[in-house]
């Protein structure tokens, strides 16, 4: 199946993440499904791909964090949990005050916050461009809009300069495995 066919099957079937050769991600498979079910466009394999990119399935606080002040050496806020949600976000500024009740160390809460408040908005902002939505998870929707307006690759300012394409590739591969299909990348153009 082509990349586009796998993406369409993922949207239609929303398969549970089922990639047995990746046990560090499989431990959260039910959580990906539960969080995805709270969102219109989020798929479990998308959340697994984000988890893979962000932490490799480890429930961690970002390296270099001063645990006393919850700051990194450069003064920025660390990421927390399997999806590396920024611990320093002022949740009171968001239109979703219930976000304040989530315990970001809890994997289900972390994955749910990632799905509802970071990935879903990106998918809504970029409805026909999954890669841009994944870039927005890392860079924010405004940052991706600026890159598009400047005519530069959307990954230019993401972590590693390859965030969106890495998550996109994992999402397609994870979806293909989860539905029992092979993906043909030969006709894909990013």
Residue 179: closest CA among 6, 22, 32: 6
Question: Domain locations in the chain?
Answer: 3-54+103-177
pLDDT at position 146 is 92
pLDDT at position 61 is 63
pLDDT at position 72 is 47
pLDDT at position 18 is 97
pLDDT at position 89 is 56
For the chain, what's the residue count?
190
pLDDT at position 71 is 47
Helical axes 3-13 vs 163-179, angle rounded to 10°: 70
pLDDT at position 87 is 53
The count of other CB atoms within 10 Å of the CB of residue 120 is 21
Residues of the chain with pLDDT below 50 are 64-72, 93-98
* pTM, full prediction: 0.86
């Amino acid at each position: 199946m082509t990349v586009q066919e796998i993406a369409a099957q993922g949207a239609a079937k929303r398969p549970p993440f089922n990639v047995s050769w990746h046990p560090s991600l499989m431990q959260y498979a039910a959580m990906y499904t539960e969080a995805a079910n709270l969102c219109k466009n989020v798929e479990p394999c998308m959340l697994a791909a984000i988890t893979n990119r962000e932490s490799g399935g480890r429930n961690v606080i970002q390296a270099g964090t001063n645990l006393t002040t919850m700051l990194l050496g450069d003064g920025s806020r660390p990421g927390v949990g399997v999806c590396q949600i920024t611990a320093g976000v002022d949740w009171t500024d968001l239109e979703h005050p219930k976000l304040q009740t989530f315990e970001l160390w809890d994997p289900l809460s972390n994955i749910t916050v990632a799905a509802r408040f970071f990935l879903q908005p990106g998918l809504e902002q970029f409805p026909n461009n999954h890669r841009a939505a994944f870039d927005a998870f890392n860079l924010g929707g405004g940052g991706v809009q600026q890159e598009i307006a400047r005519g530069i690759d959307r990954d230019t300012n993401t972590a590693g300069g390859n965030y969106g394409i890495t998550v996109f590739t994992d999402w397609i591969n994870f979806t293909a495995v989860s539905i029992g299909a092979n993906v043909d990348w030969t006709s894909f153009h990013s």
